[in-house]
Structure 1
Amino acid sequence: MTDTTGVPAHEEPHGPSLGPRLNWLRAAVLGANDGIVSTAGLVVGVAGATDSRAALITAGLAGLLAGSMSMAAGEYVSVSTQRDSQKAALALERRELREQPQAELAELTNLLAERGLSPDVAREAAEQLTARDALRAHASEELGIDPDALTNPWHAAAASFLAFTAGALLPLLAIVLPPLSLRLWVTVLAVLATLSVTGWWSARLGAAPVGRALARNVGGGAIAMAVTYGAGALLGAAGV
């Protein structure tokens, strides 16, 4: 059986723990994709201007380090801001539960009723959830937050750093290891093949049409390399 996205029913994501894992996988795929495209564009552009292997290694390593550090720093700042917002929202919820328990119980009852429960069942469920763990119940229903699974900025930064680095290594090795006559074609083919894989995987993770994702991913990478190679060739010809 399949759903409207064409994904087999048995492969549909279920359970509260699967969502965060899929988000991490998507972030890893996107980080690797950024590493592939940005580094490929850089080294192919340099290859258009010079045949020097030393220049290619220097440019590729500089792009890898700059990109991975930038990704890590950006992810750290972004996730730290998100975590601070989550903690502030939880602190407010704790205060409201302490100062207005009946109003919070009524609010939880309404939220559960909005999900299709009858008023009596919603009230009973709200009372049981509140008795078991009031903060968790309200955080989940009102805020969509798991108090025990707040986003970790260090984990996010490390994941982005590693994903970008892994992606960037492919075009760097592809441009410096083959013989001079083959390095450009080896790099282009390796990059486009890898972008096909990451495009397919990201589409599968997001239950999106595979063909469209492949076209965007491969087409974007091809355009990036063509533009940077053309710019490098022009600069090389001008003796810059």
Structure 2
Amino acid sequence: MTMYHSTLQHDALTPMFDLCRHVISYLDGKLEDPLAATQHNQLPEKQNIDWLIGNQQDKLTIQALIDDLEKSNPDAGQSYFKARTWHLLCWQPIYIAFISIYGLKQLPDFTRFKQQRQHNAIVGFTFHSDKIASGQAEQLIPLAASQLAPLLEHYRTQLDSLQRCRPGYSGRFIADLILGNLLKVKNLVPDFSDQDVLTHAQLWIKAMGLPEKLLKSLTIKDGQTIDFVRTSCCLAYKVNSKLCSTCPKAHK
């Protein structure tokens, strides 16, 4: 049975924070200081655009992110800015969930989760609660999805109010992040097989409410290891003139 538990000390999340930084140095988080949070919430909206805090004000933060992306690569085009923005909005919470579940058999509580905007990137995050759920991946995946799905849907609706971002478009990016991370798990976790990738992919896609057809991105041919081709294109080639190895454009 999966249960949340909390400690009186504020070090319950320390192993998760340390592992996140170990995997990706700028995946840097902390437990929110209640006093700082109160002061932050009292700031005028225009002074709050450095944080995604989970309410309608996030629209301003997302617009500021888009503006900075346009300044950095003015010729990349609106399609690239939208794809890059959506990826930036999603990557941290999904990576955190994967690192916690597959690295520690734990899941933090994403209630009132906040992300930091730093110019044309989103790096840095805070958790409001030090609650931790423990269990096997099969137990934690539905719990993670129940928190991540509404969080990402909130980001999508805010972005959609600025640039058209429909569920089909956003869902492909989310699925690709999930499936790509499962392949990373396979490379890092002993005894996590190709079949485990497929099994867990089904669990994640179903729990996140995504179309099952997106599972076709993963294929296993006779005598070969699992292969992955994205269904979404990040359009990074508009900036660096190179296609990603898993890009659908590279496999046509």
Q: Normalized against structure 1, the TM-score is what? A: 0.32
Greater radius of gyration (CA): 1
Q: Normalized against structure 2, the TM-score is what? A: 0.31
